[in-house]
């Protein structure tokens, strides 16, 4: 596990929305809903015992009742699934990596089923920063590219192409990911 450098610490410090106070533009949650504007920054992790599934081309890629939701201000939850509950034989490493100032460096994977491939459909943090060790090696999947479910509900993707949040009926926004929301 690496420690954040000075540049990372500066990036962390620039955020103005930290979940301490819901901004005026945020929608108010109804009973049974969560506002993503009440989620903290730095992000918090929460165990989730519901059945979480990921499907590609009609084939189950992953299914678990041991997911971890990462909850960060302004974003719908990203679900991380334990590798034991993922068909890793259907994943192929990609050369792409990204960086999160909270979790560290992520490696990407394509999903390959029956000769068909979905590029950069999954990622994981092998050596996340301190505080995020519980998702080390867990896989997250893009609902923009795959059919992802929480219980029987098929999730909607977070706006934009970069973020991997899962939008369900239980979360309310607006969500970062659309143009102009980079500093949310």
The closest of 133, 121, 132, 147 to 56, measured between CA atoms, is 147
- Alpha helices per DSSP H over 85-166: none
Quick one: average pLDDT of 54-61? 98
Query: Where exactly are the structural domains of the chain?
Result: 6-172
In tens, the pLDDT along 2-25 reads: 676 766 666 666 666 666 789 999
Q: What is the pLDDT of residue 148?
A: 98
How many CB atoms sit inside 10 A of residue 9's CB? 11
Phi, psi of 102 (to 5 degrees): -100, -40
> What percentage of residues in the chain have a pLDDT greater than 70?
90
| pLDDT of the residue at 162 | 84
Q: What is the mean pLDDT of the chain?
A: 92
Q: pLDDT grade, residue 106 (50/70/90)?
A: very high
132-174 residue pLDDT tens: 999 999 999 999 999 999 999 999 999 988 899 999 999 999 9
Rg (CA), the chain: 16
CATH fold for the domain made of 6-172: 2.170.150
Interval 79-103 mean pLDDT: 96
Query: Considering the entire predicted model, what is its pTM?
Result: 0.92
Side-chain half-sphere CA neighbours of 163 within 13 A: 25
pLDDT for position 61? 98
Evaluate if residue 66 carries a pLDDT over 90: yes
Tokens read off for 142 = 């893009």
Two tokens at 96?
A: 């792409």
- Exposure of 15 by Cβ count < 10 A (0-12 exposed, 13-18 middle, 19+ buried)? middle
């Amino acid at each position: 596990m690496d420690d954040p450098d000075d540049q990372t610490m500066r990036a962390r410090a620039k955020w103005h929305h930290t979940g301490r106070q819901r901004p005026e533009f945020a929608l108010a949650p109804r009973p049974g809903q969560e506002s993503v504007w009440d989620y903290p920054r730095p992000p918090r992790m929460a165990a989730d015992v519901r059945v979480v599934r990921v499907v590609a081309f009609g084939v189950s890629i992953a299914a678990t009742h041991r997911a971890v939701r990462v909850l960060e201000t302004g974003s719908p939850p990203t679900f991380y699934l334990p590798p034991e509950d993922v068909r890793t034989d259907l994943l192929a490493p990609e050369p792409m990596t990204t960086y999160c100032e909270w979790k560290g460096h992520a490696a990407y994977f394509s999903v390959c089923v029956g000769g068909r491939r979905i590029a950069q459909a999954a990622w994981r943090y092998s050596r996340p920063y301190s505080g995020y060790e519980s998702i080390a090696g867990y896989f997250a999947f893009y609902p923009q590219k795959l059919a992802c479910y929480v219980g029987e509900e098929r999730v909607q993707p977070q706006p934009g192409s970069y973020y991997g949040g899962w939008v369900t009926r239980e979360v309310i926004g607006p969500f970062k990911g659309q143009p102009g929301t980079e500093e949310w």
